[in-house]
Structures are given as C-alpha cells and as structure tokens.
Amino acid sequence: MSGGALEPNAYGRQLTADEIADGAHRDFIGGMWETMGEMQLAFLQAQGLRPDHTLLDIGCGALRGGVHFIRYLAAGNYYGLDINASLIAAANHELQVEGLLDKQPHLLVDSLFEAHRFGQRFDYAIAQSVFTHLPMNHIIRCLVETQRVLAPGGTLFATFFEAPASAHLGQVAHAPGEIVTSYDQDPYHYSVDEFHWMAAAAGLTLHPIGDWNHPRAQRMLSFSLPA
C-alpha cells in the first residue's frame, strides 16, 4: 500500500492463502457473489458501457463484479483497485479459475484511491459498497482522485445508504437487507444533499439515481465530469 494509508474498515483483515483457495473471500466481501456481480454489469450496460470503454472498479475486492466486467470488456480495459492486498490476491485466483488472464486486467493495491497510478483515463467508474463504509472525508478523497482520471464526459457510479436528512444523527434501518446505518460509524448513511456538497467540492456534478433494486437497499448515485 502507498504511504499515509487511510484507516481500514472491517474488511481490513488479510485472508490467508488457504482461505482464498477455499473461496472464503466470496463471503468475506458480502456474499451474493453471482447476484451482485451480474447486477453490476447489467446496470452499467444499461448506462451505456460498451466493450471498448475503459472501466475503473473502485474497491474491486476479489472481483465479484470484476469477473463479469472483465469478461465483457475488451482486453486491457478493466482496472481495479482495493485497499486489501489479500483481496487482490483472491482476485488473481478468480482470474485463473475463470480463465480470464488473457483479458489482461489491471489490478492495484492502493489505500488512497490513487487511480492515477494506472496512467489511464476512464470512461466509467464504479464504487459498489464503498461509500457505505467510509466517513465523509474519505469519500471526498475518493471523488477528488476519481475526478482526476475520468475522461471528459466520464461518469462514476456509486452506491450509498440514504439518510432522511443531512447530519442525521440517529440510526436508520434499511429494508430489504435489514442493515442499520449510523452517522458516524460503519456502515454509514448520507443524505443526497450531503453528496451534492461532496460532488461540488470534487469538481463533479451529482445526478441521483435512487432505487436500482439492490438487495440490501443501497441507493445509486451518478457523478459526472463535464465533457
């Protein structure tokens, strides 16, 4: 990981090689391996993702969505980064299992969202179940770093747990999924207005999407860079 690492969330534990071989990483990142992977690809396709586009997968983990993206995209067009080195090791394991090494995906262990290390501009980016685990200052860092690498007209899609108002200090129960979120501890909730402020601070324009049938009631946001 690069210097000045952000504080890891619950996914900071490093899996062993034996755990990875046994497939423990699939549950470690939240389960619903096939369901969520297929859902992410279908969503991005509906938003215009084509095989010739470049895609940045922020918090790619063990490639729950990544194996589907990599299979769909042209060789070399998938880029994934994650804070957890063992999950990147698990991602490489999944690439071998799925026979996708010839698609030449790019994977990076990085704790500061420094996607510029790839040396690539991106047509699309996705952060699935990332902002749900981050305090606001870390989200802004992610948005600023992503803004730096989006191509003109590029878009970042990100999921979040929605709060009924800004600075909502009480807990919120979300259904389906029965996840309880908080203002100041993981998992976090935010209002759409708070994301408008964060997007503006990062030089991006927010377009709330809302419900996209996520099985744990995460809402979807779109952050765009002017063309």
Contact 113, 83 (CB under 8 A): no
Chain segment 13-25, per-residue pLDDT in tens: 777 777 766 666 5
Segment 94-100 long-range contacts (CB within 8 Å, at least 24 positions apart): 94/62, 94/63, 94/66, 94/67, 95/63, 95/67, 95/70, 98/67, 98/71, 100/67, 100/70, 100/71
pLDDT band, very low/low/confident/very high, at 40 (cuts 50, 70, 90): very high
Question: What span, in angstroms and rounded, lies between the C-alpha atoms of 85 and 5?
Answer: 13
Q: Given pLDDT bands bounded at 50, 70 and 90, which one contains residue 8?
A: very low
At 68, the pLDDT band (50, 70, 90 cuts) reads very high
In this prediction, residue 5 carries a pLDDT of 41
Tens-place pLDDT, residues 150-208: 999 999 999 999 999 999 999 999 999 999 999 999 999 999 999 999 999 999 999 99
- Percent of the chain at pLDDT exceeding 90: 81
Task: Decide the pairing of beta strands 172-174 and 150-160.
Answer: unpaired
Mean pLDDT, the chain, whole residue set: 90
Query: Between 10 and 217, whose confidence is greater?
Result: 217
pLDDT band per the 50, 70, 90 thresholds, residue 28? low
Q: Identify the CATH assignment for 32-224 out of 3.40.640.10, 3.90.1720.10, 3.20.20.150, 3.40.50.150.
A: 3.40.50.150
Domain residue extents for the chain? 32-224
Distance, in Å, from the CA atom of 18 to the CA atom of 141, rounded to the nearest integer, reads 34
